[in-house]
Structure 1
Amino acid sequence: MPTLPTFSFATTAEEVANAFSAEIKGKNVLVTGTSINGIGFETARVIARHANLVIITGHNEERLKLSETTIKKENPHANIYPLIVDLSSLASVRKAAAEINALPEPLHVLINNAAAMFVDFKLTEDGLETQYATNHVGPFLFTKLLAPKLLAATTPTYTPRVVFVASVGHTYGNGVDFDALASPDPAKYSRHSAYRETKSANILTAIELSKRSKGKINAYSLNPGLIFTNVFEKEVVINIFQGNGFLGPDGEPNTEHAWKTIPQGAATTVTAALDPRLNDKPGAYLDDCTVANDKVSPHSSDPANAERLWNITEKIIGEPFTF
C-alpha cells in the first residue's frame, strides 16, 4: 500500500480528494447544505470530480440549481442530483428521503453538513426550536430513513459512512439541553447556546450511531475550523463575530485569529468521508483532518448523554432508529 499523506490545518479539500481518489471512485455521496461559498459546496465539488454520483441538497431551488450548474461547468462529466429538502421540517425530510430511496444506486456516504446558525427563537411546524430541528432532529431522521440505502452499499471491504459537521463551539456551555430539545421555551432561549448545543448533539449522535450499528455504519463528527463562508452574509452573525473580535469593524476576518479558507475548511469533512485510516475508529471526532477525540468536551463524549439524546430524539420523530 502506498504511503498515505499527512494532513494539517492548511490541507485543502481538493488535496484530500485527490489523495483518496481511489476511495471515491464508483461511490455515491450525499451532501446536505451545498450553497455557493460554503464548505458543503466545496465538499461536493471536489468529491464530484471522482465519484459516481453526488447528491446535493438545499431548501432554496434557485441556489441549489446554481450549485449544480457551477459544479458541472467545471466538470461536465460530474453526475449531480439536486435534492430539495428543508431539514427543519420532518415532512420535508421524509419526502426527500423517499426520493433518494427510490433511486437505484446505494449510498456510500451521507454528509450532514447543513446547519442553521444563531437564528432568533421560532418554532417549526413540528413544534421544535429551529436550530435544534435543522441541525439535529432533521439530520437524525434523514440518517434514519436513509440507513437502508447506506447499508446497501456494504461490501466485504467497505463500510458505509455518516459524517456530522459539528464545531469547536460545542466546547462552550454544558452540552445538550435536553429540556430545550423536547420542550423549547422562548423565555430561556439563547441563540448562541442553542447553536452550540446542537453541535454537541452532532458529536453525540456520531458516537451513538457507531455504537448502535455494531460495525454496520461508521459515523464521524468534526470541527471544520473558523471559515469565512456564506453564513457571514447575515447581519446577526457579523455582529456576533465582531463582538467577540473575530471580525474587524469592516466585517472582514481579523487575522489575529486562525482563519481557514473555504477549501481548507472543507478538508476535514472530506477526510471524514474518505480516509481509510478511520475504518477502525468509528465515532471519532476530527480536527484539522486528524482524529482529535481529546478535544471533545466531556459532556459531548459521555455515553450516557449519547444514549439519552438518541432516545429523546426517537420519541420526537415518532419512530425507533434501529438496525
Structure 2
Amino acid sequence: MALPTFSFSTTAEEVADIFASKIRGKNVLITGTSLNGIGYETARVIAKYANLVIITGYNLERLKLSQEALKKDVPGAKIRSLILDLSSLAAVRKAAAEVNAYSEPLHILIHNAAHGGGDFKLTADGLEIQMATAQFGPFLFTKLLAPKLIAAGSTSFSPRVVFVSSEGHRMGPGVDLDNLAHPKPEMYSNLGAYSQAKSANILFASELARRSRGKIHTYSLHPGSINTNMVQKEHNRADMVNFGVLNPDGTLNSKFPFKTMSQGAATTVVAAFDTRLEDQSGSFLWDCVVANEKIASHSADKETAKKLWDISEEIVDEKFTF
C-alpha cells in the first residue's frame, strides 16, 4: 500500500493510524507529557496501539492528571508514569535506573520536554536551566538508556530517539559553547536561551546518529506553532509578542500559521514510526517530512556537534560509547 504524503495539516491521529502495525508491541517513553501539550497528544495517539507508553514529568500531581486523562481517553491503554526532572543530573540518574529495571524492552525514546523559559536560573548542578533541560539532562538520560534501546533492536527494527526542537533555533547565532559549563547571567536572554536549547537538540540528534552507526536512528523536528502551555506563560508574553505569535493583548495573532495540538504532535509521531525515514537517521523534520535545508548553518555544523558532545560528556561526567 502506498503511503500518503504528509503536510502541515496532517494530524497525529492520522499518522498513528497509518503506522498502527509499527506501533503495536512497542514500548515508548515520552518526556514532558503535561495536559495541553503536544507531548500529551503524542502519548494519547501512540497509546491507542502501543504495548506500553511511559509518560514523564517532574511534578507528581500533574503527572497523575495526565495519566488519568490518558486512561480515560484511551481505555485499556497501558500507561506508566515516571518522575523525571531533566534539570537535575541526580534525578536523571535515578529515573534512568528505574527504566533500566523495567522488565520490558524500550523501543522508542521521545525527548519532548522543555523548560518553560523565564528569568536566568541555575540548576543544582550550576547549569542554565533551559539548556540543562534540553541538552544535558537528555544527553545523560539517553546515554544511560542507550544499552536498553540497542538491545531492543533486531534485523527488522531499529530503535529511535526523537528530539522535539523548533524553528526557534534559527533566531540566534547557535550554541555558545564557551559558556555552557559556567553560564553568565549578564549574557542571558529568555529567547536567546530558548534558541540555544533548540539548536542543541538538532546538534545532539545529528551527532548521535553519526556515532551510533545505525544502532539507533535519531531525528529532530520543528512541530509547528501551537498554543501550548509555554506560549501561554506570562513571563514569555513579551517574547511571543515580539516574535509575532501573540498580539499585545495576549491573544493569538491570526496572521501566524498556528497548528492544532494534534497537527503539532504529528511530526513527532512521524519521526518515531514512519518507515520512510529508515535510511535518513540524523534528519530534521518539518510539517511531517524531512527538511534538512531548514536547519540553520550553525546547527548543521558537524564540528560544533562534536564539540557540544564532548562538552556534554564532561559536564555529566559520563563517556557515551556504543
TM-score by length of 2: 0.98
Residue 248 of structure 1, CA deviation? 2.0
Distance 1:137 1:290 in 2: 27
Counterpart amino acid of 2:40? F
Segments of 4+ moved more than 4 angstroms: none
Residue 75 of structure 1, CA deviation? 1.6
Distance 1:309 1:230 in 2: 29
Distance 1:26 1:197 in 2: 36
Q: How many residues align?
A: 322
| Aligned residues of 1:33 and 1:40 also touching (Cα < 8 A) | yes
Residue 132 of structure 1, CA deviation? 0.8
| Aligned residues of 2:57 and 2:85 also touching (Cα < 8 A) | yes
Counterpart amino acid of 2:220? S
> Partner of 2:180: helix, strand, or coil?
helix
| Aligned residues of 1:117 and 1:195 also touching (Cα < 8 A) | no
Counterpart amino acid of 1:147? A
5+ unaligned residues in a row in structure 2: which ranges?
A: none
Distance 2:177 2:75 in 1: 46
Distance 1:166 1:117 in 2: 14
Residue 118 of structure 1, CA deviation? 2.6
> Partner of 1:267: helix, strand, or coil?
helix
Counterpart amino acid of 1:129? E
Distance 2:193 2:243 in 1: 18
Counterpart amino acid of 1:200? S
User: For residue 235 of structure 1, what is the aligned residue in structure 2?
Assistant: 234
Shift of the 200–94 alpha-carbon distance from structure 1 to 2, 3 Å rule, reads same
| Aligned residues of 2:8 and 2:288 also touching (Cα < 8 A) | yes
Counterpart amino acid of 1:285? F
* Aligned ranges 1:149-160 → 2 under 5 Å: 149-160=148-159
Distance 2:79 2:182 in 1: 39
User: For residue 99 of structure 1, what is the aligned residue in structure 2?
Assistant: 98
* Aligned ranges 1:69-218 → 2 under 5 Å: 69-218=68-217
> Partner of 2:279: helix, strand, or coil?
coil
5+ unaligned residues in a row in structure 1: which ranges?
A: none
User: For residue 17 of structure 1, what is the aligned residue in structure 2?
Assistant: 16
Residue 127 of structure 1, CA deviation? 0.8
Counterpart amino acid of 2:179? A
For the pair 1:295 / 2:276, whether they are aligned, the reply is no
Distance 1:244 1:74 in 2: 34
Distance 1:270 1:208 in 2: 21
Residue 62 of structure 1, CA deviation? 0.8
Residue 26 of structure 1, CA deviation? 0.1
Residue 246 of structure 1, CA deviation? 1.8
User: For residue 286 of structure 1, what is the aligned residue in structure 2?
Assistant: 285
> Partner of 1:5: helix, strand, or coil?
coil
Distance 1:153 1:252 in 2: 45
TM-score by length of 1: 0.98
> Partner of 1:266: helix, strand, or coil?
helix
* Aligned ranges 1:22-101 → 2 under 5 Å: 22-101=21-100
Q: CA RMSD in A?
A: 0.9
> Partner of 2:50: helix, strand, or coil?
coil
Counterpart amino acid of 2:230? V
| Aligned residues of 1:119 and 1:131 also touching (Cα < 8 A) | no
Counterpart amino acid of 1:57? T
